Copies of this chain bind each other. A is one copy, B any other.
Amino acid sequence: MEIIGKNFIGNQLSAMGNVQYKTFDPVKNQENKTVFTEATSAELEEAVALADAAFPIYRKMKGVQRAAFLKAIADEILNLGDDLIHTYRSETGLPEDRAEGERGRTIFQLQLFAKLIESEDWRNNISEEAMPERTPQPKPSLFKTHIPLGPIAVFGASNFPLAYSTAGGDTASALAAGCPVIVKSHPMHSGTGALVATAILKAAQKTGIPNGVFSNLNSKSHPLSHELVKHPNIKAVGFTGSFTGGSALQESVFKRAEPIPFFAEMSSINPIALLPGALKEKQDEIAKKITASIVLGTGQFCTQPGLLLVIADKKTDEFIETLGRLLSKMGQQGMIHPDLIENYLRQSEKLNGLKGSIVVQERKDKIQDKQVTPKLSQISGEQFLANPIYQEEVFGPFSLLVKCKNLEELEQVVKSLKGQLTGGIFAQPSDYELMDPLVTAFQSKVGRFLFNDVPTGVEVSAAMTHGGPFPSTTDSRFTAVGPASIYRWVRPITYQNWPEDLFDKLV
């Protein structure tokens, strides 16, 4: 299947611009062949106008019809077959099982939202009968429900070309809510994005979804993204990416005449505290788990454990040695894009170059071009507390181990942290009595709090929170994963004194 390099303005292909780019194959170390044309301001305007016109129609469609659309998207993504897997791999260098796994997750998410909206339960309707005889004031009838906000802009993530991009969680939840979606395609995997866009538009056509409910804009440069989030007819934004990128877009959102919800998932180093009892009794098991979590997918996960907090003692030193040894045995791994390798090396070397940093593990032998190996560095609690630079995310298989003097200092370290998607404690019964203040400190910092478990692997389910205090996200009151993520895109409305026989005019 040929990959389309044009923009999808609703169901029209368009390439009015003259700025072009290609994606990169990190394994072949060369550009892929499709030429993508960046969307122009006029194309963006057209996409938003179509979304705006489609909104009142789309949002009044029955839940089962929007569900049929979502299920058809899942089917059409599967129908892309090996073309999708090949394109995904050529734009990321990720292995086949990861590509297939992520496709499965994407399809599962679409089906989950389809199921959610087949019933109207998700709207949390509340009906209160009139009490005309009440004194001193009669009570009117009230019916509360939830309705969609309007057209949503979605910015996908570099590290999840499928599950957090074109038809990923943000798009699926917004379409489920009844919001049109305009995706700004991620320039590292615009081919994967274009294939998925094709699938979405085919599904729309098959299920009678109006033109403009979905558009897909190519762009490698920033101005288009800012134009998109500043557009008056865009009513909310979903972003998954870096702190720098998210913060820049947020600045633009703040300049709008009408403020809108800006949900960005941005940055997290996912601290794990390893308490003395745990290191004494389960040292090897913990070291294995953490090693696997650090290197999983070359550490290219927002939940990668980038910060390990320990208390100085003999067992701890043994643990550090064990962890270093296990990491040293991990092989070389590619990354999704050469820019990410460069960023990984620069960021990890920046931290390692600071006074007081001890490099525990870093491969000194020759590393193949375009490959990286895991790194583990160590600093003291005091150093960590003195310099906020240690809280910067190193995207890749890097972890910073903070050796604290005692439990009180470890608590101070947790209290000093910025907000995180996840945090965790490894503890054994001998630790339990001492860990209450630490638990309290963690609760204020994280969206998901783990016990004797690693943060990688985000379950897609109702009990999941994938979110957390700033800067892990811009609004900790929402989750980006699971059915509750739909509530980012809807608002309550109350119908007062409407007779029931007119209710069909309202939904």
Contact = CB atoms under 8 A, between A and B. Distances in A.
A147 interface: yes
Contacts of A479: 492
Number of copies: 2
A418 to B, nearest CB: 8
A470 B440 contact: no
A474 B137 contact: no
B128 A496 contact: no
A285 to B, nearest CB: 14
Nearest to A56: B440
Contacts of A439: 505-506
Interface string A484-507: 100110111111111100100110
A5 B112 CA distance: 57
Contacts of A144: 462-465
A498 B470 CA distance: 24
Nearest to A441: B56
A459 interface: yes
Interface stretch (A84-92, A163-171, A254-262, A359-367): A254-262
A259 B505 CA distance: 39
Nearest to A476: B491
Contact of A443 (B101, B126, B147, B487): B147
Contacts of A491: 447, 467, 469, 476-477
Contacts of A470: 258-260
Contacts of A462: 126, 128, 144
A49 B126 CA distance: 40
Nearest to A450: B496
A255 B147 CA distance: 31
Given A149-B476, A259-B470, A497 B464 contact: no
A128 B461 contact: yes
A382 interface: no
Interface string A445-483: 011111111000101011111010111001111110000
Contact of A463 (B128, B254, B451, B452): B128
A338 interface: no
Most buried by B among A101, A432, A451: A451
Contacts of A440: 56, 60
A448 B498 CA distance: 11
A474 B253 CA distance: 13
5 contacts: A137-B457, A258-B469, A260-B470, A447-B493, A448-B494
